[in-house]
Structure 1
Amino acid sequence: MNSSKPYLLRAVYEWLTDNQLTPYIMVDVLFPGVEVPERFVEDGKIILNIEDHAVKHLSLGNDIVEFDARFSGISHHIHIPVPAIKAVYAFENGRGMVFSDEGQDEGSGPSTGGGKPPSPTKPKRGKPHLTVVK
């Protein structure tokens, strides 16, 4: 089954822009294949404004997010593998979505449960512990 992350990313992006909010993404730049200007990286992460007015040629694909943006007046092509995106949120109020690690995504890898939900544990049987209140 495909990862749900790119679909959720596109949905949150659309929701934010429909509500006239500025979509930002937080990217783990240590992930292989990330191409961003290193000068703006802090603690292995970069925050990017992906609003239509801030970028050109935005593509929110299933595997890659890419666009052209200007940093200090210099144009850069940004290339981000979707698993490197850790969050998408609104600049104005912080509403959005934080993504779990790809290995924990419900859409990646085989399920160990065999497709069945875990069986519920049975409650302990015994005397009821009710008290009369006057």
Structure 2
Amino acid sequence: MMNALESSSTRPYLIRALYEWCTDNALTPYIAVLVDDTVQVPREYVQNGEIVLNISFDATSGLKLGNEFVEFKARFGGVPRDIMVPMDRVLAIYARENGQGMAFPMPVPAASDEQDDAAASPDESQTAEAPAGEPAARGGMQLVPTDEADAEEPTDPPPPPPRKRPALKRIK
């Protein structure tokens, strides 16, 4: 019997299902992608480390929604480009017209990847600052200077942050 850790990701199956739902309902499927070195997209269209791609039949050529990658050809400013996005970099798929769709958790780098990155460039990985509007140390620690007055333990734990309903920002 296979446990949840050994099974394949549900993300590609959900992306294909929502793509089909969009096309069946004459809606335009868009994907939001977290861009890094593994993503092949036109970098000039990347904003804040993300890009939103129209993956409709009319906007793409040779679209393949595989288990590992979303691949297609598309024109950007009239220039044909080959696009390749690893499935774990897809943050959301939704319909342009009504915003309905699904968001996925952000990918977390594996512990071995972080160690490899730190070994390759220890100064850079320890001193890099996060872009504006992003958490300072995603999945890591941030050193904060303190003085003796701040060192005392608080008597009551801080209240939990208010829960917000996730929302997708539509970018045109």
What amino acid does structure 2 have at the position aligned with 1:21? L
In structure 2, the partner of 1:8 is 14
Structure number with bigger Rg: 1
Q: Which runs of 5 or more residues in structure 1 are unaligned?
A: 104-134
Inter-partner Cα distance in structure 1 for 2:53 and 2:106: 19
1:63 is aligned to 68
Q: 1:62 corresponds to which letter in structure 2?
A: N
Deviating 4+ runs (over 3 angstroms): none
Alignment counterpart, residue 35 of structure 2, candidates 29, 32, 43: 29
Equivalents in 2 of 1:15, 1:102: separation in Å? Answer: 25
TM-score (ref. length: structure 1): 0.74
Structure 1 residue 102: Cα displacement: 4.6
Q: Which has the higher contact order (CA 8 A, sep 6+)?
A: 1
Residue type at the aligned position of 1:41: V
How far off is 1:18 after superposition?
Answer: 0.4
Residue equivalent to 1:43:
48
| C-alpha separation in 1, matches of 2:62 and 2:38 | 19
Structure 1 residues 94-103 or 5-14, which shifts more?
94-103
* 3-state SS in 1 of match to 2:38: coil
Q: Of Structure 1 and Structure 2, which has the larger fraction of its residues in helix? A: 2
Q: How many residues align?
A: 102
**CA displacement at 1:33 relative to structure 2:** 1.4
Write 1 or 2 for the structure with the bigger share of strand: 1
Q: Which amino acid aligns with 2:93?
A: V
Of 73, 80, 88, which aligns to 1:83? 88
- 1:6 is displaced (CA, Å) by 0.2
SS at match of 2:57: coil
Residue identity (%)? 50
Query: Which residue is equivalent to 1:96?
Result: 101
Listed as ranges, the gaps of 5+ residues in structure 2 are 1-6, 109-172
Determine the structure 2 residue equivalent to 1:73. 78
* TM-score of the two chains, using structure 2 as the length reference: 0.58
RMSD over equivalenced CA pairs, Å: 1.0
